[in-house]
Amino acid sequence: MNEDSSTRHDLVGGPFAVIESDPGVFTTLLHKLGIRGLEVTELYSVEPFATDHLNPYGLIFCYLCEDSPGAQDDTTISDDLEDPDARAIWFANQLSDDACSSQAILNVLLNCKGVDIGSELREFAADTEKMSPVMRGLAISNSSHIRQAQNSLARPADIRGAYHTLAATTLDAAKASAKAASSPPTKKRKTSASATSRAKRKATSTERLEAYHFIGYVPAHGRVWELDGLRAAGPLDVGEIQSDSKDPDSRAGWMEIVRPALQRRMQTVLEGGSGEGHIQYNLLAIVDDAYLGVSDDLELLKRERAALERRLDENFPAGWADKVDPALLAAATEAFATTLRPSAREPGRVFAADFGSRKMSKELAVLDMAARSLAPAWENCVRAALSAKVAVEDEVAKSQSAQADNLKRTFDYEPFIREFITSLQNEGLLEDALKGPSPAGNGEPATPSKKSKTRKK
Strand order in the sheet with 223-227: 38-43, 281-288, 58-67, 209-220, 223-227, 236-240
Letter string b/e over residues 41-59, b meaning 16 or more CB atoms within 10 A of that residue's CB:
bebeebeeeebeeeebbbb
Candidates 100, 112, 145, 164; catalytic one: 100
How far apart CA 216 and CA 225 sit, in angstroms, is 8
Supply the DSSP symbol for 96. S
Q: Give me the half-sphere count of Cα atoms (radius 13 Å) on the Cβ side of residue 234.
A: 17
Nearest-angstrom CA–CA distance, 166 and 14:
8
Q: What does the alpha-carbon distance between residue 308 and residue 377 come to, in Å, rounded to a whole number?
A: 8
Q: Give 3-state DSSP helix, strand, coil % of the chain, rounded to 5.
A: 50, 10, 40
Q: Does residue 278 have an active-site annotation?
A: no
Is 112 one of the catalytic residues? no
Considering 213, 221, 278, 381, which one is annotated as catalytic?
A: 213
Beta-carbon contacts of 44 under 8 Å, excluding residues fewer than 6 positions away, are: 50
Q: Which residues are catalytic?
A: 100, 213
